[in-house]
Amino acid sequence: MPIPDPIAIRHGDRLALSRALTAVENNQPESRELLSALFPFTGQAHLIGITGAPGTGKSTLVNQLAKNLRREGHPDHPPQVAIIAVDPSSPFSGGALLGDRIRMADLAGDESIFIRSMASRGALGGLAHSTASFVTLLDSAGFDLIIIETVGAGQAEVDIASLAHTVLVVEAPGLGDDIQAIKAGILEIADIIVVNKADRPGADNTARALRVMLEMAQSQTSGPQGKHISKDPCVPSTSAKPATAAWDPPVHTIVATEGKGVQAVIEDIQRHARYLKGSGLWRQKEATRLRRDLEALIRDTLVNQWQQRRDQDQFEQVLADVIQRKYSPVEAVEKLL
Amino acid sequence: MTEKTIRVLIAKPGLDGHDRGAKVVARALRDAGMEVIYTGLRQTPDMIAEAALQEDVDVVGLSILSGAHNALVPAVMEKLRQSGLSDVKVFVGGIIPKPDIPNLLSLGVYAVYGPGTNTQTVIEDIHQATHKPTD
Ligand SMILES: Nc1nc2c(ncn2[C@@H]2O[C@H](COP(=O)(O)OP(=O)(O)OP(=O)(O)O)[C@@H](O)[C@H]2O)c(=O)[nH]1
Ligand SMILES: [Mg+2]
């Protein structure tokens, strides 16, 4: 199948976009060229991550967010919204059941919304390996907001924290997961916390417990910048930036199935974007992510280059020598490279 | 070179209210290594074509128990064609009277399955339908 034309993608050809996503997902060789051609047109979209334990209502919330966000902005140019919904692949068959769309039926028929389900394909951090490349495609296609629903392993999903500008962590009452959450460090990646299913008993308790934990976490790491950002290795925590007030993650209680409380969440998402831009953190975050991507790419490329020119016989010989303790693995690497 | 993962959309057009059969098929296809997008009940032909386009599936499986297949299937086929998805293979499962089957096949449906069809048959047919000999 020919690789879609980058110009078609930039001009909103949805079929071309969809085919391009597949090419990228399958790591077709030509897709690298396509991503390179589109890269200059990225960096515009607000990336919103939605994470939280299975069944807490992430997809239901995404449905509401997308529906309501489409009413924001200038009436002539309401924001275009893309959704990437990641579900786990079966480790046994490699197949996957992608069911997030079931909750997003309200969004059907809106030409300015694009929903793509994605299987994790063996990646463990809550996203798939090509989720970041999906973002590149969707960003270059002109989507203003890109919502990414993670697998929802319920643990600290570091990948989404470094990819998204704004991370929403969705909790639900009665899972006893408030303690779990702090164990797994998920609150550290949260910019906004949403306690969903407030129509069920216990939501207020969960929200209260979360607020207490947030306060405790904050008193431990107080700095001029957002707490999880100040931990970033690329941002010296001592940097003498003009003091910006730290971002205090708000806690919302909502009923996603009814849309109750969703507008307040949207206002905080927008407030967070303004906060990031106003404080310079938007750019810093992006620089950090691109640095990581670049380093990972260099690593992958070097490994590939080595794989291509490796001498299998020599490798086996050296390995045999290592097994016989003639030299150590470290010395073996020196011989092989 | 690894084979491309087969992506399948399982959709229930029309108004019939239960999807046990569709879910059984969806799970069987997942266990056969396919990525199955399940969209839930009461999908219109427009919604099905839109989802098939966004998800870039190779196969659309329609589960129809309501008896409205003679209206729904042509509508879905037409919407897929309009969306530029004529190459997507369409399978129909459900309660389809024998005399209606030739008509559905003439619309370009790849295969029609009655109740109690072995999921292994469906899996083999999908592999055959999506196998591109020169590609
Ligand atoms: N009572 C109640 N149920 C809800 C609410 N929001 C979602 N649900 C239900 O919770 C179940 C799971 O919702 P999803 O939106 O699929 O949850 P999810 O977090 O996306 O699930 P996974 O993607 O499987 O991890 C569904 O049955 C929803 O109808 C809510 O506000 N109140
Ligand atoms: Mg979901």
d(CA A238, CA A5): 46
Residues of chain A that touch chain B, judged by Cβ-Cβ distance less than 8 Å: 1, 14-15, 18-19, 21-22, 26, 89-90, 92-99, 101-102, 105, 108-109, 114-117, 119, 121
Res A304 pLDDT > 50: yes
Q: What are phi and psi of A49, to 5 degrees?
A: -95, 140
Name which residue leads in pLDDT, A253 or A4: A253
- From the list B39, B53, B56, the residue facing A101 with the nearest CB is B39
Domain identity same for A301 and A187:
no
Domain identity same for A100 and A141:
yes
Q: Walk across the sheet containing A113-119 and list its strands.
A: A113-119, A81-87, A145-149, A46-52, A166-171, A192-195, A251-253
Instruction: List ligand 1's pocket residues with C-beta within 6 A.
Output: A 54-60, 100, 103, 152, 196-197, 199-200, 255-257
Give the closest residue to B122 by CA, choosing from B80, B90, B77: B90
Distance of CA A247 to the CA centre of its chain: 19
Q: Which of A257, A258, A260, A265 to mutate to test the pocket of ligand 1 (most atoms within 8 A of CB)?
A: A257
Structure tokens at A160: 């989404």
Average pLDDT (A20-41) is 94
Which chain B residue's Cα is nearest to A1? B135
pLDDT confidence of residue A105: 93
pLDDT tens per residue, range A184-211: 577 888 999 999 999 999 899 888 888 8
The alpha-carbon gap from B98 to the nearest alpha carbon of chain A, in Å, equals 31
Q: Of A237, A252, A279, which marks where a domain is finished?
A: A279
Res A233 pLDDT > 50: no
With CB atoms and an 8 Å threshold, state whether A109 touches B50.
Answer: yes
Give the closest residue to B83 by CA, choosing from B57, B65, B107, B117: B57
Domain annotation for chain B: domains and CATH numbers: 7-130 (3.40.50.280)
What is the DSSP code string of A125-175? SSS-TTHHHHHHHHHHTT-SEEEEE----SS--HHHHHH-SEEEEEE-TTS
Atom number of ligand 1 nearest to Cα A63: 15
pLDDT tens per residue, range A93-121: 999 999 999 999 999 999 999 999 999 99
Assess B31–A contact: CB distance below 8 Å, yes or no: yes
pLDDT tens per residue, range A141-159: 999 999 999 998 656 577 8
pLDDT tens per residue, range B97-113: 999 999 999 999 999 99
pLDDT confidence of residue A34: 96
Largest Cα–Cα distance in chain A?
Answer: 74
- From the list A22, A101, A109, the residue facing B46 with the nearest CB is A109
Ligand 2 center to residue A88 CA distance, Å? 11
d(CA A52, CA A216): 21
d(CA B88, CA A67): 29
Q: Which of A1-15, A129-143, A217-231, B82-96 has the lowest mean pLDDT?
A: A217-231
What is the DSSP code string of A178-220? HHHHHHHTGGGG-SEEEE--TTSTTHHHHHHHHHHHHHHHHHH
Give yes or no for a contact between A18 and B56, defined as CB atoms under 8 angstroms apart.
Answer: yes
Range of the domain at A206: 42-279
Res B128 pLDDT > 90: yes
Cα atoms in the Cβ-side hemisphere of radius 13 Å centred on A15: 11
- From the list B32, B55, B56, the residue facing A95 with the nearest CB is B32
Domain identity same for A154 and A197:
yes
Domain identity same for A204 and A191:
yes
Q: Which ligand is nearest to the CA of A103?
A: 1
Q: pLDDT-derived band of residue A293, with 50, 70 and 90 as boundaries?
A: confident
Ligand 2 center to residue A58 CA distance, Å? 5
- CB neighbour list of residue A16: distance below 8 Å, 6 or more residues apart: A4, A5, A8, A9
Average pLDDT (A204-227) is 72
Output the CA torsion sign for A218, A220, A226, A232: negative
Q: Which ligand is nearest to the CA of A196?
A: 1
Domain identity same for A201 and A312:
no
Give the closest residue to A171 by CA, choosing from A125, A127, A206: A206
In chain B, at which residue ranges do the beta strands (DSSP E only) sit? 7-11, 35-38, 59-64, 89-94, 111-113
Domain identity same for A47 and A109:
yes
What residues does A86 pair with on adjacent strands?
A118
pLDDT confidence of residue B21: 85
Domain identity same for A27 and A139:
no
CB burial of residue B128 (10 Å; 0-12, 13-18, 19+): exposed
Domain identity same for A234 and A207:
yes
Alpha-carbon dihedral B49, B50, B54, B59, rounded to 10 degrees: -20
- Round the average pLDDT of chain A to a whole number and report it: 88
- From the list B27, B83, B135, the residue facing A15 with the nearest CB is B83
Beta pairing, strands B7-11 & B111-113:
unpaired
Domain identity same for A37 and A108:
no
Interface confidence: ipTM more than 0.85 = yes
Domain identity same for A18 and A46:
no
Instruction: Please identify which residue in the block is written with the tokens 């992510």.
Output: A289
Q: Of A252, A279, A306, which marks where a domain is finished?
A: A279
Give the closest residue to A66 by CA, choosing from A25, A22, A101: A101
Domain identity same for A136 and A196:
yes
What residues does A119 pair with on adjacent strands?
A87
- CB neighbour list of residue B119: distance below 8 Å, 6 or more residues apart: B24, B25, B28, B29
With CB atoms and an 8 Å threshold, state whether A119 touches B51.
Answer: no
The DSSP code for A245 is P
CATH of residue A141: 3.40.50.300
Domain identity same for A106 and A179:
yes
Quick one: which H or E segment has residue A46?
strand A46-52
Q: What is the 3-state secondary structure (H, E, C) of A276-324?
A: HHHHCHHHHHHHHHHHHHHHHHHHHHHHHHHHHHCCHHHHHHHHHHHHC
If one counts the domains in chain A, the total is 3
With CB atoms and an 8 Å threshold, state whether A15 touches B38.
Answer: no
d(CA A181, CA A53): 9
What residues does A118 pair with on adjacent strands?
A86
* Dihedral class, residue A55 (left if φ above 0, else alpha if ψ from -120 to 50, else beta): left
Ligand 2 center to residue A100 CA distance, Å? 4
d(CA B10, CA B38): 5
Q: What are phi and psi of A233, to 5 degrees?
A: -65, -25
